[in-house]
Amino acid sequence: MNLSAPLSDIKGVGEKTVAKLDRAGLKTIRDLLYYLPRDHEDFSRAQSIKDVKPGRVIVRATVSNVKLSRKRRGLTITEATLSDATGRMRATWFNQPYRRTQFIDGKEYYFSGNFEFSYGRYQLMNPSAELAEDHAERSDEITPIYRASYDLKPKQIRAILRNLELYVPLVSEYLPERLVASEKLISRADALRFIHFPENEAQIAQARERLAFDELFELLLASELNKRENNKLKAAAIPFDLAATKEFVASLPFKLTNSQRVAAWDIIKDLEKPTPMNRLLQGDVGSGKTVVAGLVACLATKSGYQTAIMAPTEVLANQHAETLVELLEPFGVSVALLTGSTKKKQLIYERMASGEAQVIVGTHTLITKKAIYYKLGLVVVDEQHRFGVKQRQELLLKCGALMPHLLSMTATPIPRSLQLTVFGDLDISTLSDMPAGRKPIKTELVSPNSLDGLHRKVEAELARGHQAYYVCPLIESADPDAEAKSVKKEYLRLKNVFKGYVVDFLHGKLPADEKAQKLLDFAAGKTRLLVSTTVIEVGVNVPNATVIVVADADKFGLAQLHQLRGRVGRSSTQSYCFLVTSTSAKPTQRLLEVEKSTDGFYLAERDLELRGPGEIYGRMQHGDLDLQVAKLGDTKLVAKASRSARLFIESGENLLEYKELYARVQKYQKLTTLN
């Protein structure tokens, strides 16, 4: 008996099933033992329909009248009638169109879900369903619920696993025994037995705790190792220059906020060390991150080091270059701009290599092969959560023995639970207060039937001398120019509505210099209303703009809406954000959240709850953040795993000796952003 044996070795598993398992990536006995149930259900607790009360419920009911309807783009609703001897109820699933074909009319299923008041009536929302006859013989037991995948029915998976119970004792411990003992963990084998074949709820809880610990331990060990590896690198120590700092701060037309001062000080202390900084500066839109970057770039220059400031788009790079010229040239710092559409690139490359260009602002062109620096001491990446491992390695190659200090800046704050785990290798500074005098932006949801009222409100702001953005959504379409078309269509319409004002349009398809010119015209106040796609989403700073309208707002994510809204409210004048819903039906939870709060940190937490970490961060990264059991918000377990990870490293134990652990930790060490 051997855990690496192929699944075809198991009695009763036919060729067809093996092929299906194979497609789901399940090849060996070990693979299947680690295929964890997503939940457990105790079907003996099924209630009669007449006894059901709001909250989580299980019913055993016959299904009929399954109907699938497609609402607006992207939304499907499946409805069914559930009935038993005592009564009937409605079940509804959102965006699970496969439910239409899953059910056989007249058959009995166990349905488990939330019974709640929704869309005008009490109903069972998004219940999971299991064919009742699959459970006939063991309905008094707690049943593990497996995800159906690649034509494999949960029932099949359950049946095969039952044959594998005798292999469980072969599962060996993959953590050091000492750790298992000191943390009072149950063994890995017991954890797998309890999760697949539980006898009671307590066993499930124990199993989940152990498996969750493992996932968090891997993640935290990876962050801890990354951190230590970073600290082994050498960097140029950039000394603190009090006089230069004072002079810079005094030259600003405003007083720094408290948190700007604290953050700048965090960075300054990092720069003084001979190990590279790896810090994230997070601050809500408009909190003033750029000036902090400007200050530290100034200090780097004074010590003879160059600074590269990288923006995600050319539009933003142009704007940063302008701001930094204003901030830094009075101090004799030479600022250069390098983007894909820079005309005399060769000249800029030469100035970079000779050291004549001291602060270089640009897009990813700044870290391509051609970009050679004289003495690069500091790299600032705007609107990114993390400098990717690959990008770091490239930088290191570029810079020889000395790694530049890295500062990432983001306006999408990282919820605390992720700071401790996924971003555990970064030091984080937070701008928690806004520049004085800012008024919270007033946000209003607007029905598409009330555009006239909306236009009057926008006009009132224009009449006061202010400016407005009108954002049109990305339209998913086979036509690559669809986005531009929708902007143009809206532009033509709005030009007529706002006749007395200069209206212009902007979208990603325009040539770079035309885009830049249009933004300059808007920034200069020549254009009063700018109809645009989300190219203005991040970073664009025009304080005189006090209105942003987002058309078809349902199409945008929560974080994105908050970013867009951040284009206004950048001065002491009252600003407005109007979110036009796609239909006049009930607005989505996302829109209600954005209407309710202007706090980016709160919204980031809500976004995390609504979508989950994998959806938000997993996709952005090379490796998947595949947490099956652990909850990043489980602070107690996170703390325990974090302490264990540090102890493991400090014990001097060799990770290479724990092959399985090593492989998994390595995967997490490579987690890196793509954008």
Q: Residue 606, exposed/middle/buried by CB under 10 A (0-12, 13-18, 19+)?
A: buried
Closest residue to Mg ion, based on beta-carbon distance:
539
384's contact among ligand ADP, Mg ion, none, with CB below 5 to 8 A by partner kind, is none
Distance CA 18, CA 7 (A): 7
Using CB under 6 A as the binding rule, whether residue 294 contacts ligand ADP is answered as no
CB of 309 to Mg ion, least distance (A): 11
What are the phi and psi torsion angles at 183 (to 5°)?
-90, 5
Using CB under 6 A as the binding rule, whether residue 291 contacts ligand ADP is answered as yes
3-state secondary structure of 507: coil
CB of 538 to ligand ADP, least distance (A): 8
**Candidate ranges 279-287, 371-379, 482-490, 654-662; the one touching ligand ADP (CB under 6 A):** 279-287
Q: Give the DSSP letter string of 104-117.
A: -TT-EEEEEEEEEE
CB of 621 to ligand ADP, least distance (A): 23
Residues 188-247 that bind ligand ADP (CB under 6 A): none
CB of 100 to ligand ADP, least distance (A): 45
Q: Residue 235, exposed/middle/buried by CB under 10 A (0-12, 13-18, 19+)?
A: buried
Distance CA 618, CA 248 (A): 40
Of 287, 285, 286, whose CA–CA distance to 263 is shortest? 287
Residues 6+ apart with CB under 8 A from 460: none
Distance CA 413, CA 429 (A): 11
**Site of tokens 């602070």:** 635
CA 623 to chain centre: 14
Distance CA 112, CA 42 (A): 10
Residue 198 or 539: the one with the smaller Cβ distance to Mg ion is: 539
Report the amino acid identity of residue 259.
S
Residue 362 or 539: the one with the smaller Cβ distance to Mg ion is: 539
Judge whether 506 and 487 are in contact, CB under 8 Å. Answer: yes
Residues 68-127 that bind Mg ion (CB under 5 A): none
Question: What mask of x and - would describe binding to ligand ADP in positions 249 to 268, judged by CB under 6 A?
Answer: -----xxxx--x--------
What are the phi and psi torsion angles at 276 (to 5°)?
-70, 135
Q: Give the DSSP letter string of 439-479.
A: PPPEEEEE-GGGHHHHHHHHHHHHHTT-EEEEE------SS
**Candidate ranges 92-100, 150-158, 285-293, 590-598; the one touching ligand ADP (CB under 6 A):** 285-293
Residue 349 or 387: the one with the smaller Cβ distance to ligand ADP is: 387
543's contact among Mg ion, ligand ADP, none, with CB below 5 to 8 A by partner kind, is ligand ADP
Using CB under 6 A as the binding rule, whether residue 570 contacts ligand ADP is answered as yes
Residue 144 or 539: the one with the smaller Cβ distance to ligand ADP is: 539
Residue 287 or 642: the one with the smaller Cβ distance to ligand ADP is: 287
Q: Considering only residues 289, 302, 351, 562, which one is a binding residue for ligand ADP as defined by CB under 6 A?
A: 289
CB of 567 to ligand ADP, least distance (A): 9
Q: Residue 106, exposed/middle/buried by CB under 10 A (0-12, 13-18, 19+)?
A: exposed
CB of 265 to ligand ADP, least distance (A): 15
CB of 609 to ligand ADP, least distance (A): 24
Q: Give the DSSP letter string of 422-447.
A: TTTTSEEEEE-SPPTTPPPPEEEEE-
Q: Considering only residues 176, 286, 377, 424, which one is a binding residue for ligand ADP as defined by CB under 6 A?
A: 286
Question: What mask of x and - would describe binding to Mg ion in positions 525 to 544, judged by CB under 5 A?
Answer: --------------x-----
CB of 330 to Mg ion, least distance (A): 21
Using CB under 6 A as the binding rule, whether residue 546 contacts ligand ADP is answered as no
How many residues bind to ligand ADP according to rule CB under 6 A? Answer: 18
Order of strands, edge to edge, in the sheet holding 576-580? 442-446, 576-580, 545-550, 467-471, 529-532, 503-506
37's contact among Mg ion, ligand ADP, none, with CB below 5 to 8 A by partner kind, is none
CB of 333 to Mg ion, least distance (A): 20
Nearest-5° Cα angle at 336, 333 to 342? 170
Residue 156 or 323: the one with the smaller Cβ distance to ligand ADP is: 323
Closest residue to ligand ADP, based on beta-carbon distance:
288
Query: Phi-psi category of 55—alpha, beta or left, where left has phi over 0 and alpha has psi -120 to 50?
Result: left
Residue 285 or 380: the one with the smaller Cβ distance to ligand ADP is: 285
3-state secondary structure of 369: coil
Using CB under 6 A as the binding rule, whether residue 520 contacts ligand ADP is answered as no
Contact residues: ligand ADP, CB under 6 A: 254-257, 260, 283, 285-291, 411, 435, 541, 543, 570
Contact residues: Mg ion, CB under 5 A: 539
